[in-house]
Amino acid sequence: MITLNDIIEYYNCIRLMVGNSLRKDVFLKWSIFEFCKELHTSQSLAGKLEEPWLIGLEESKTQSNNWNTAKNELNKYFKSFGKVIKVSFKDHPELVIGHYLESLYAFERSIFWFFNYKYNLDPFNQVASEQALYYSEFFSVVSITRFLGGTLNHTLLGIFELKIDWENKIISIQYRPRSSGSHEGYKNLFFELLDSIDFSNYEYLESLKVSQLFRKKGFLMIEDRIENVYDLSSPMGDPFKNALHRDLNKSSIKSSKSWNFLEGLDELYSKVGHNDYDGDLADYLHGEYIDDGYRQHHIGEYWKFLIYIIKKIKYTEKYTESLIWKLNRFEACDSVELDKSTKDILIDWMKE
């Protein structure tokens, strides 16, 4: 079984920084399109694939039979290989590099959405805060999944599922012509990769592999997201549901902003002086943890893992320095309100 250290070793020779910024030349969406163009040409398939970012694809997609013909031909070609085409690291290193690069970009999205969650914790914006918490967790999972070698890429050609076989240095590319997809697919891919990799040197992820409760109830609250955003019959998604509170200034929702569970409940207990787990404050914090705190804790554990592997890989020192600089830059802006405890915890982890 491949180990986490094996994957880190593969990434060790990759340089992702240009000055103080991440590269922007090897995104998987673009690399996959170039791969399909080369495939389309080399196999003399019918139709025509044009550059979507140069010609405005939405028009040609609806008006040109050539584009639809090319999609159909690609689909037939993939089907002739059992819907999956396998390529080597040597022939397509950009697909490996892209997984690593997008892992870091997804990590930054997770950070952004968590700050958004904390900012919106008030009686009116509660629905937005719940959505933000979901996306913070979602992008942290996307980040880890990409790092481990798996991705679902939505393109204008359809969905491409990529999986890296680290032992054989092979990338499997599965094509689904229809572009619709669900977050459930990311969840399944995440656990598939967890089960295939030895995390004995990283206890938290190894523990997730054997936790059936986590798989069923503790991961990506997809049902909550649907109720909060899409289900018009659900009271959870009612943006004015708190209007009936007697005194909105005393709402417990805003007080939740004061507490941060990224480090877990035990760490928070120790910070407030409740190591004995008793007292009204300890009971209150326990209730907050059961509500949304445990989800914050999962996100914190994902971030710690990502920071751990970033530090293990060469050429990433500038990345953490750049990320800290960006956080400090926004905090210095009068019109931006960053949650101080989140920023302090994150920077402490990066500086450890």
Q: Tell me the C-alpha to C-alpha distance, in Å, between residue 190 and each of 206, 255, 317, 338.
A: 13, 34, 27, 30
Residue 61 lies in a domain: yes
Residue by residue, pLDDT tens for the chain (352 residues) are 899 999 999 999 899 988 888 999 999 999 999 999 999 999 999 888 876 554 454 554 455 677 788 889 999 999 999 999 999 999 999 999 999 999 999 999 999 999 999 999 888 888 889 899 999 999 999 999 999 999 999 888 889 999 999 999 999 999 987 765 667 788 889 999 999 999 988 989 988 888 877 777 656 666 677 777 777 787 777 888 777 777 777 667 767 788 899 999 988 888 877 555 556 788 888 888 888 898 999 999 999 999 999 999 988 878 999 999 999 999 899 999 999 999 999 999 999 8
User: Is 111 domain-assigned?
Assistant: yes
Q: What is the pLDDT of residue 250?
A: 66
- 90: which residues sit within 8 A by CB, 6+ positions away? 169
Whether residue 193 lies inside any domain: the answer is yes
**Overall number of domains in the chain:** 1
Any alpha helices (H) in the chain, and if so which ranges?
4-11, 28-42, 52-55, 57-63, 65-79, 93-119, 126-148, 183-196, 203-210, 212-217, 222-229, 252-255, 265-272, 280-288, 294-312, 317-331, 340-351
Does any domain span residue 243?
no
d(CA 132, CA 130): 5
pLDDT at 61: 46
- Within a domain: residue 242? no
- Long-range CB contact pairs, 261-267, < 8 A, 24+: 261/288, 261/289, 261/292, 261/293, 261/294, 261/296, 261/297, 261/300, 262/296, 262/297, 262/299, 262/300, 262/303, 262/342, 262/345, 262/346, 263/297, 263/300, 263/345, 264/297, 264/300, 265/289, 265/293, 265/297
Q: Would 300 be classed as within a structural domain?
A: yes
| Number of Cα atoms under 13 Å in the Cβ half of residue 55 | 11
> Is 246 within a domain?
no
Q: What is the pLDDT of residue 55?
A: 47
Q: What per-residue confidence (pLDDT) applies to 40?
A: 93
Per-residue pLDDT, 79: 94
Could you list the residue range(s) of the whole structural domain that residue 96 is in? 2-237+254-351
End-to-end CA distance of the chain: 30
Structural domain contains residue 247: no
Task: Name the nearest CA neighbour of 94 among 164, 183, 180, 190.
Answer: 164
